[in-house]
């Protein structure tokens, strides 16, 4: 299987603090990989480097074979991303926001209009599509974040704690949406929620202090450590 | 899709931001208010309007000058806001060069400032036409200088926005730079009878001094310009001031682009 994301010897320093330490891993096409790790493990930093938001101190990242550092625009055209808890321009409505982002991605008017309707329906924001975002709750903004990530139908989804701020029903709906999208896309998904990762992903990478501790199929991880939770705790130095 | 097409998209939506935000209308209101105040106060305090149309034109140029300061409020959050407000997590993950994004934001800010300046000069022209039946040709020069000054202020604000963590910080630093730092140095250099054409505050004065120099402001005042040290009345060369504003405009913009391209959204 071709590789959608390739991370080679990636390191990132914030001044003297080493956030990612010589990380290497590959995500094959159409696989759904969960990136697990405690706070400060380097999950968000890794995803931000993939999305070109921060520069690596050393190492390389490729998306669909394109170097993020050398050709960021080409690499980003293959990605749909939700990083942290993003904010939107409060003076725009969801429709206008998606129209702006779609135009920036070069989507043609007719196709863009249809896609906007489709993704707004998928994230259940139909009733709010013409209302300015200044009135939106955190959960509604997260739904819109997913809508913009799916808008251009990218082959790769990069998601950093995408269900943060959602109510329990929203979390369930969100998982279903990502699971559905994951059937035909590569999903690289950082989370603290083991249940969420187990439901959406078929593989998991566990990192701590910027190091890759394990990267395997969830079924094999469960077989080796009895459960994903047990694997996580043992590998990250929690309960043995 | 070419970067030029993306630039058009960014500029359009950024301009929409200015149109929908209250600050444009506040500055617009202030510009109209200041012009109205000049038109009402001058005849009350000076027993009618000055005989010299140039004096009145120079006095009315305060409105458009104020409009250029609006640039600070349009641009303060242009770059810093994307990082502070986390909107960058959405915008910067799109396949668009930072140079294109900053340029689009700059053009949109410039369009908003130009809109305000045009309105200011419409008021100036109509007022002069009604009061004196004529609009001096220097008004066109003043308009051109005002546009250039607006662009320079916008660029300086973009520079501070690119290095600031927050929008408020960028706005305050720019205002302090123009209204305090530059003005204080300006005052010192004038008193010391040294050249001061390279200061942004001096450049701003050119919008009014183009009508006849600093001495024009003193016309009609009781002291009439007497006992003023000679250096205070010296008008900097207009071509040097234009050069200075072009340098602020280009340097501020280029630096803001270069810094934004390197800035990381951690």
Q: What is the pLDDT of residues B136-154, one digit of tens each?
A: 999 999 999 999 999 999 9
Give every CB contact of residue A181 below 8 A, 6+ residues apart in sequence: A150, A157, A187
Which pLDDT does position B155 carry in this prediction? 96
- Tell which residue, A63, A83, A92, A90, has the closest CA to residue A75: A63
Q: DSSP assignment, residue B236?
A: P
Contact B87 A100 (CB under 8 A): no
Rounded to a whole number of angstroms, the distance from the CA of A102 to the nearest CA of chain B is: 9
| Residues contacting A160, CB < 8 A, separation 6+ | A43, A44, A47, A48, A81, A82, A83, A84, A190
Which positions ≥6 away from B214 have C-beta within 8 Å?
Answer: B205, B232, B233, B234, B235
CA distance A146 to chain B (A): 11
Give the separation between CA B63 and CA B116, rounded to whole angstroms.
Answer: 10
Half-sphere exposure of A191 (CA within 13 A, CB side): 23
**Using CA atoms in the order A193, A129, A116, A66, what is the torsion angle rounded to 10 degrees?**
-40
Q: Give A94-134 pLDDT, tens digit per residue.
A: 999 999 999 999 999 999 999 999 999 998 899 999 999 99
Which of A15, A96, A104 is most worth mutating to test chain B (most B CB atoms within 10 A of its CB)? A104
At A61 the three-state DSSP class reads: strand
Q: Do A54 and B95 touch (CB under 8 A)?
A: no
Higher pLDDT, A239 or B132: B132
Tokens (6 digits) for A146: 């997913």
Task: Report pLDDT digits (tens) over A126-168.
Answer: 999 999 999 888 888 999 999 999 999 999 999 998 887 778 8
Q: How far away is chain A from the Cα of B117, in angstroms, using its nearest Cα?
A: 24
Q: Residue A239: what pLDDT?
A: 57
CA separation for the pair B50, B230 (Å, rounded): 24
**Spatial distance between the Cα atoms of A104 and B97, rounded to a whole number of angstroms:** 11
- Residue B38 dihedral angles phi and psi, to the nearest 5°: -65, -45
Encoding tokens for residue A124?
A: 């259940």
Q: What is the mean pLDDT of chain A?
A: 91
Q: Mapping DSSP to helix (H, G, I), strand (E, B) and coil, where does residue A39 land?
A: coil
pLDDT of A2 > 90? The answer is no
Looking up tokens 């000055």 gives: B50
Contact (CB<8Å) A88/B89: no
Tell me the pTM.
0.91
pLDDT under 50 in chain B at which residues? none
A83 touches chain B (CB under 8 A): yes
Q: What pLDDT was estimated at residue A236?
A: 85
Task: Dig out the tokens for A150 from the structure.
Answer: 């799916």
Residue A183 is classified by DSSP as: T
Q: Is B6 on the interface with A (CB under 8 A)?
A: yes
For position A181, what pLDDT does the model report? 83
């Amino acid at each position: 299987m071709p590789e959608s994301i390739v991370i080679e010897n990636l390191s990132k320093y914030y001044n003297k603090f080493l956030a990612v330490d010589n990380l290497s891993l590959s995500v094959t096409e159409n696989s759904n990989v969960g990136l697990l790790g405690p706070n400060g493990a380097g999950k968000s930093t890794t995803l931000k480097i993939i999305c070109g938001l921060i520069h690596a101190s050393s190492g390389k990242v490729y998306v669909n074979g394109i170097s993020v550092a050398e050709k960021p625009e080409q690499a980003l055209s293959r990605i749909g991303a939700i990083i942290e808890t993003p904010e939107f321009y409060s003076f725009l409505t969801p429709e206008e926001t998606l129209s702006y982002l779609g135009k920036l991605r070069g989507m043609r008017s007719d196709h863009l209009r249809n896609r906007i309707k489709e993704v707004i329906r998928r994230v259940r924001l139909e009733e709010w599509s013409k209302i300015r975002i200044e009135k939106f709750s955190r959960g509604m903004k997260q739904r819109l974040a997913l809508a913009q990530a799916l808008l251009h139908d990218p082959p790769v989804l990069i998601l950093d704690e995408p269900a943060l701020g959602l109510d329990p029903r929203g979390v369930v709906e969100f998982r279903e949406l990502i699971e559905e999208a994951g059937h035909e896309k590569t999903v690289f998904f950082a989370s603290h929620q083991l249940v969420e990762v187990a439901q959406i992903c078929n593989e998991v990478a566990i990192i701590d202090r910027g190091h890759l501790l394990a990267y395997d199929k969830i079924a094999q991880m469960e077989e080796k450590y009895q459960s994903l939770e047990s694997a996580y705790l043992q590998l990250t130095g929690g309960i043995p | 899709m070419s970067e030029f097409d993306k630039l058009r998209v960014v500029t359009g939506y950024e301009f929409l931001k200015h149109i929908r935000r209250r600050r444009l209308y506040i500055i617009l209101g202030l510009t109209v208010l200041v012009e109205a105040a000049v038109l009402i106060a001058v005849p009350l305090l000076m027993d009618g309007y000055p005989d010299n149309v140039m004096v009145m034109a120079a006095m009315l140029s305060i409105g458009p000058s104020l409009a250029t300061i609006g640039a600070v409020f349009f641009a303060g959050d242009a770059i810093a806001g994307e990082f502070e407000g986390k909107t960058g997590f959405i915008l910067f993950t799109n396949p668009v060069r930072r140079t294109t994004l900053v340029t689009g934001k700059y053009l949109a800010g410039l369009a908003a400032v130009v809109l305000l300046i045009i309105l200011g000069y419409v008021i100036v022209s109509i007022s002069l036409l009604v009061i004196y039946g004529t609009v001096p040709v220097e008004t066109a020069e003043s308009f051109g200088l005002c546009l250039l000054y607006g662009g320079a202020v916008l660029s300086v604000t973009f520079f501070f926005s690119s290095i600031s963590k927050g929008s408020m910080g960028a706005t305050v630093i720019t205002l302090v730079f123009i209204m305090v730092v530059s003005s204080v140095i300006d005052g010192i250099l004038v008193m010391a009878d040294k050249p001061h054409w390279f200061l942004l505050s001096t450049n701003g004065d050119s919008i009014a001094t183009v009508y006849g120099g600093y001495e024009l402001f003193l016309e009609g005042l009781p002291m009439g310009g007497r006992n003023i040290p000679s250096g205070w009345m010296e008008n900097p060369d207009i071509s040097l001031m234009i050069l200075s504003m072009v340098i602020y405009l280009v340097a501020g913009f280029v630096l803001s682009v270069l810094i934004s391209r390197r800035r990381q959204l951690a």
